[in-house]
Amino acid sequence: VKAQIEEKEGKTFDVFTAVEFKTQVVAGTNYFIKVHVGNEEFMHLRVFKSLPHENEQLSLHSYQGSKTKHDELAYF
């Protein structure tokens, strides 16, 4: 989903490393992922993975910027 977030933000990230994640089972799975994007900057991503029989790509559902390493990763 890195390309999806770069397109939405209009910039590229040299660093894009997942450091924590949580899941929520729905009609598929929501992944809440804390991503280090360089320096002391982090983003929280909500990524949806459909059920296997739907054969869909991962999709970036929403995201939050301006996060820190210590911000709690929670549903949004």
The answer to whether 11 and 28 have CB atoms below 8 angstroms apart is no
Let me know if residue 22 belongs to a domain. yes
Dump pLDDT digits (tens) for 59-76.
Answer: 999 999 999 999 999 888
Let me know if residue 76 belongs to a domain. no
Contacts 24+ apart (CB under 8 A), 10-17: 13/37, 13/38, 14/38
In sequence order, which residues have a C-beta less than 8 Å from that of residue 34 and are 6 or more positions away?
18, 19, 20, 21, 42, 43, 44, 67, 71, 73
CATH number of the domain at 25, please. 3.10.450.10
* Number of structural domains in the chain: 1
- Average predicted confidence (pLDDT) for the chain: 94
What is the span of the domain harbouring residue 44? 1-68
Which pLDDT score, from 0 to 100, does residue 14 have? 94
Let me know if residue 62 belongs to a domain. yes
Residue 60 has phi, psi (to 5 degrees) of -75, 115
Dump pLDDT digits (tens) for 21-57.
Answer: 999 999 999 999 999 999 999 999 999 999 988 989 8
Let me know if residue 61 belongs to a domain. yes
